[in-house]
Chain A
Amino acid sequence: MLQPLLALFLTAALQGASSAQVAAGDGPRFDARAAEHLYNRAGFGANGAEIEAAVARGREATLDLLFPSELPAPLLRDVQNHAYKFVLSSEGALGRDDRPRPPAEDAAEGSMEGSMQESMDEDGAADQAEVEREEALRRDRAAARLADGRQLAEHTNRWLERMVQGEAALVERMTLFWHGHFTSSMQTVGSSYALIAQHELLRKHAVGSFRDLLAGVLRDPAMLVYLDNHRNRRGNPNENLARELLELFTLGEGHFTEEDVKEAARALTGRAVARGEYVFTPRRHDSGKKRILGQEGNFDGDDLVEILLAHPRTSVHIAGRLLRWFEGVEPSAERVEHYAALLREADWQIAPVLRALFADPHFYGPDVVGARVAGPVDFLVGSVRRLGVDAPPLALNLGARVLGERLFFPPSVKGWDGGESWITTSSLLGRGNLAGMLTGSIGVMELLGADLESMASDEDGGMQRRGRRGARTDNAELRELVGRDQGLRDLGRLGRGRWSPELDWKRRLADHWAAGAASESANRASEPGDSDVVGFLLEELLAIAPPPETRAELVQYLAEQRAEFSIPDGRWLTWGQDAEQLLTQLAHRILALPEAQLH
């Protein structure tokens, strides 16, 4: 039953034909629960109206809308190559490591080396002109670095805005997937220009061809710098990119030998970066004979791509990662193999494979629905979408960072582990706190202020180099970003008072109550009671239906609070501002539940 159905979707998608031809009754029932599940996984969650519209439209028409008909427009129009300005005097690569360290920078930070350096300068009676020149250089470099950080923050904000808007949500969700797969970190690359270019490459091919994506990544300046390939030369190979290419990007661990790594590294020699752009230097390329995965020839990087794609493990590895990403649970070997075969049959096109997945009954089954631990971005963007608030994207960016998902700063080349590893005792409390920020219950700086100092250690504990200099600069950049963001100032104690989002619970509750009046018995109360209110907010705010005990406890909580506020029973729609505030408090409490971390 499953097989012919998948084949049908595959054919339809490959021919570019409208898949509306597929009978609407086929496959799993597309009710509100299924529609919400699809939006949770293929997008970033949905509100009640969106779910209703999707059900009315049907699954196929909803999928048609999810899959983009054209390539996504770049997030920023005019991307500046700031980093180049401050590595001018280096070898020409992008890496921070190449940047000369002016002594003044250390001195400014008051480190031990810095103060020693300072006194040495005094003793040496350095030439005044030289000192001034260095000071000017230091200022230029600092300005370029701040501008570069701003550009990346701006780009990240636009990306988060796209996620919240929900248009072409699947492209952004897949881009987030690739950002953890073909990942690079600003920490190492040190250039927003290169990272933004990489990100747009991932967006362009997000649901396109894995072959094109892989080939593009192996020419991507950010990746070449991140994994040291700009230092991979004939006679002096650097294995970093080759190893991760085999281990993480294609075959998976345990399916290649050390010899394959060495030989693959030789095939990639000569691929480097100059002034932020890709260059191939033939004299640095090792054109000799290589033996990779049992094949022999004078391979270069493009041959390597084909060798890796021809190896059955690559499709298995990618299919497994896609299933884990969208389903949030460990897939069976049979299903991985099945989707790997689809990927090969589709000649590495991603869209038809996802289309098949989103029609797969297992995807809508009890092992998968509600079983995925929402990542920080999933949780924050999803909460914003469900709350219907207009939160500043920088708040989401910093929030994700506090929770361990700092975009463009992955903890290692392996990306983020995801799943249950998102949840620690402190991240679970942090999620509740950030939910309070989104509902306007907690000032943003009350939260982020406390986290400012520890933030750096949250995400950079991985493979990247970082020292006290890194941490300081990081926070300077952060403070600068926070300080100039009007939206964030409105949100936090930097402004006066708290952010008060227009949650308008009473109106929403009234609409919901009125809509229900037509279908339900006429003799119900004229206003909703405590359990109706709790039911409504749970439905609005949670991606999964919570167990009855949770519901009962919230009803009890609400009744107790209502008594404290002296709001009479059954007057939710007509009581004043206190009712609105209490509903917001309830919303915060719901989003702080363990249930709110699943989707």
Chain B
Amino acid sequence: MERRQLLQLGLGLGAAALIPGALARASTRLLLGQKGERRPCLVLVQLTGGNDGLDTVVPYGDDHYGRARRTTALAKNDVLDLDGHVGLHGKLVRLGAEWKEGRLGIVQGVGYPQPNRSHFKSFEIWHTGRAEGRTSGPGWVGRLAQSLHGDQAHPNRLVHIGGQVPYSLHSTAHPPVAFANPRGYRLAGQSGELAPTMEAETSAHEGCEDLPRGARARLEALRAVMRDAQASSAEVRAAAAQHQTKIVYPNTDFAVALSTAAALIAANLGAEVISVELGGFDTHTELRRRHDTLMEQLDGGLGAFLEELRGLDAARDTLVVVYSEFGRRVAENGARGTDHGTAGPLFLAGPRAAGGLFGRHPSLSELDEGDLVHTTDFRAVFGSAAKGLFGADPSQIFDGRYDALPLVREA
């Protein structure tokens, strides 16, 4: 019996079984299915906490801005001018260079109707593309995968590099894999790898009918995750170990996550959506100092990543989208910070990004209870990106119709 042979093969010294049987087979299958077939890749960069859009794409030329941000406003000299009216935050040096080369897309005033100022609810709306949030079903990336592949799942297709997985990647048919550190992403045994549990090879529901119905449903889900984990972890570790680059990434978690993303893209593992996160944007206090640091971190990590992508043949079909759950109030608060607001800018970068300024900057004089009124719906951006990059049909991902935007460069 094949399983038995595999188990016996590496059993020196009576140590734990070493043979990654199912894993070896799964990898072979994956490699056969994927090799040589380059898929486009969408890299989602989430700025968690509510990025202050007015302090990112700065309307320095608008008097209302200086008046609303008495202690925190950036002056013309502090920004990289884009169009004589708005400019990039001065710490966005490398993104500024991308802009000059026509490789950075900026969509202004992105949001959604009836904005919610709760971090959690607003993220649910961004992640699902629906006002009801997660009660409405899978995340929009999960829907995208469904629209492209039906129920044909593949373990490393949707990848989150970091801790908590954003709900956008949630999908029962296409569960994401997630890890923070490729080296720790393994099942260890006494002297190396622990052989995959045999049930990894049995179907998810086998034998479960005797369990109480609540436990049964859970166990089936857990078994599916275990199968994906065993198939994906070996590939991911190999990709990270083989990854070599001359690009120097800053020593931040964010940049390290992006360099791991580059490793996955370079190895052509079949990852179609890779998600990373930069946290800390909830700047209720000390906006000036804190946001400067955040912009520097964003620019350092993203700049290095974009540079590496440019030199990677496997990255020719990669698009990076940077978003946050909301912008912040137009007026600063009493603690030189800004409270939760509404619309903000999105960035698109990478080999497939069409550069340029898109959308209209929201008015700073016609506010809705002190907040910006969005001018572009985020679903128009995600939908256009999905269509341009994957040829997906946005109407299968998002309800309603949104204008198509020319955000993606032809392959």
Report how far A320 CA is from B190 CA in the complex, Å: 43
B75 CB–A CB distance under 8 Å: no
B235 CB → nearest A CB, Å: 11
A479 CB–B CB distance under 8 Å: no
* CB proximity to A under 8 Å, residues B92-121: 117-121
> Which residues of the other chain, B, contact A414 by a CB distance below 8 angstroms?
119-120
Binds A, one of B174-182, B308-316, B355-363: B174-182
Report how far A382 CA is from B120 CA in the complex, Å: 31
Closest to B370 in A: A258
Report how far A581 CA is from B285 CA in the complex, Å: 57
A189 CB → nearest B CB, Å: 14
User: Are A547 and B222 touching (Cβ within 8 A)?
Assistant: no
B217 CB–A CB distance under 8 Å: yes
A481 CB → nearest B CB, Å: 19
Binds A, one of B136-144, B201-209, B261-269, B373-381: B201-209
User: Are A547 and B194 touching (Cβ within 8 A)?
Assistant: no
Binds A, one of B28-36, B66-74, B246-254, B344-352: B246-254
Closest to B4 in A: A560
Q: Could you say which of A329, A373, A453, A463 contacts B280, with CB atoms under 8 Å apart?
A: A463
Tally inter-chain residue pairs, CB-CB below 8 A: 263
Contact code string A393-422 (vs B, CB < 8 Å = 1, else 0): 000000000101000000110100100110
Report how far A435 CA is from B219 CA in the complex, Å: 18
Q: Could you say which of A231, A367, A429, A468 contacts B186, with CB atoms under 8 Å apart?
A: A429
User: Are A258 and B11 touching (Cβ within 8 A)?
Assistant: no
Q: Could you say which of B188, B194, B202, B225 contacts A446, with CB atoms under 8 Å apart?
A: B188
Binds A, one of B78-86, B145-153, B161-169, B385-393: B161-169
A432 CB–B CB distance under 8 Å: yes
Given the known interface contacts A467-B297, A598-B215, the answer about A593 and B233 at a Cβ–Cβ threshold of 8 Å is: no
Given the known interface contacts A465-B290, A549-B206, the answer about A593 and B197 at a Cβ–Cβ threshold of 8 Å is: yes
Report how far A557 CA is from B11 CA in the complex, Å: 13
Instruction: Add 6 more A-B contacts to A454-B181, A462-B279 (CB < 8 A).
Output: A97-B290, A368-B214, A414-B120, A549-B199, A581-B14, A594-B222
Binds A, one of B53-61, B332-340, B396-404: B332-340
Contact code string B201-238 (vs A, CB < 8 Å = 1, else 0): 01000111111111101110111011011101100000
Report how far A433 CA is from B232 CA in the complex, Å: 17
User: Are B184 and A447 touching (Cβ within 8 A)?
Assistant: yes
User: Are A463 and B218 touching (Cβ within 8 A)?
Assistant: no
User: Are A564 and B215 touching (Cβ within 8 A)?
Assistant: no
Q: Which 4 residue pairs of A and B lie closest in terms of their CB atoms, listed nearest first?
A: A236-B334, A371-B214, A547-B207, A454-B181
Given the known interface contacts A421-B164, A450-B183, A465-B290, the answer about A594 and B214 at a Cβ–Cβ threshold of 8 Å is: no
Report how far A598 CA is from B212 CA in the complex, Å: 12
Given the known interface contacts A553-B198, A560-B4, the answer about A239 and B165 at a Cβ–Cβ threshold of 8 Å is: no
User: Are B14 and A428 touching (Cβ within 8 A)?
Assistant: no
Q: Could you say which of A95, A412, A436, A557 contacts B198, with CB atoms under 8 Å apart?
A: A557
User: Are A461 and B279 touching (Cβ within 8 A)?
Assistant: yes
Given the known interface contacts A460-B279, A549-B207, the answer about A97 and B190 at a Cβ–Cβ threshold of 8 Å is: no
What are 16 A-B residue pairs whose CB atoms fall within 8 Å in the complex? A228-B335, A238-B333, A238-B334, A432-B194, A436-B194, A442-B189, A457-B180, A461-B279, A467-B280, A548-B207, A556-B198, A557-B7, A564-B11, A582-B14, A589-B197, A598-B222
User: Are A228 and B285 touching (Cβ within 8 A)?
Assistant: yes
Given the known interface contacts A231-B335, A366-B214, the answer about A560 and B8 at a Cβ–Cβ threshold of 8 Å is: yes
A369 CB–B CB distance under 8 Å: yes
Contact code string A158-169 (vs B, CB < 8 Å = 1, else 0): 000000000000
> Which residues of the other chain, A, contact B209 by a CB distance below 8 angstroms?
547
Report how far A545 CA is from B207 CA in the complex, Å: 12
B286 CB–A CB distance under 8 Å: yes
A592 CB–B CB distance under 8 Å: yes
Contact code string B2-21 (vs A, CB < 8 Å = 1, else 0): 00100110010010110000
Report how far A561 CA is from B293 CA in the complex, Å: 56
> Which residues of the other chain, B, contact A450 by a CB distance below 8 angstroms?
181, 183-184
> Which residues of the other chain, B, contact A426 by a CB distance below 8 angstroms?
177-180, 184-185, 229, 233
A253 CB–B CB distance under 8 Å: yes
Report how far A594 CA is from B205 CA in the complex, Å: 12
Report how far A466 CA is from B163 CA in the complex, Å: 14
B275 CB → nearest A CB, Å: 11
B284 CB–A CB distance under 8 Å: yes
Given the known interface contacts A548-B207, A550-B207, A565-B14, the answer about A456 and B253 at a Cβ–Cβ threshold of 8 Å is: yes
Report how far A507 CA is from B118 CA in the complex, Å: 56
A69 CB–B CB distance under 8 Å: no
B241 CB–A CB distance under 8 Å: no
A209 CB–B CB distance under 8 Å: no
User: Are A231 and B334 touching (Cβ within 8 A)?
Assistant: yes
A233 CB–B CB distance under 8 Å: yes
> Which residues of the other chain, B, contact A402 by a CB distance below 8 angstroms?
184
A595 CB–B CB distance under 8 Å: yes
A585 CB–B CB distance under 8 Å: yes
Q: Could you say which of B181, B225, B228, B277 contacts A451, with CB atoms under 8 Å apart?
A: B181
> Which residues of the other chain, B, contact A455 by a CB distance below 8 angstroms?
180
User: Are B184 and A466 touching (Cβ within 8 A)?
Assistant: no
A370 CB–B CB distance under 8 Å: yes
Report how far A420 CA is from B295 CA in the complex, Å: 33
Closest to B329 in A: A239
* CB proximity to B under 8 Å, residues A31-51: none
User: Are A560 and B7 touching (Cβ within 8 A)?
Assistant: yes
User: Are B187 and A433 touching (Cβ within 8 A)?
Assistant: yes
A375 CB–B CB distance under 8 Å: no
Report how far A453 CA is from B179 CA in the complex, Å: 13
Q: Could you say which of A235, A412, A425, A561 contacts B233, with CB atoms under 8 Å apart?
A: A425
Report how far A143 CA is from B119 CA in the complex, Å: 36
B282 CB–A CB distance under 8 Å: yes
Closest to A233 in B: B334
Given the known interface contacts A253-B121, A471-B252, the answer about A370 and B197 at a Cβ–Cβ threshold of 8 Å is: no
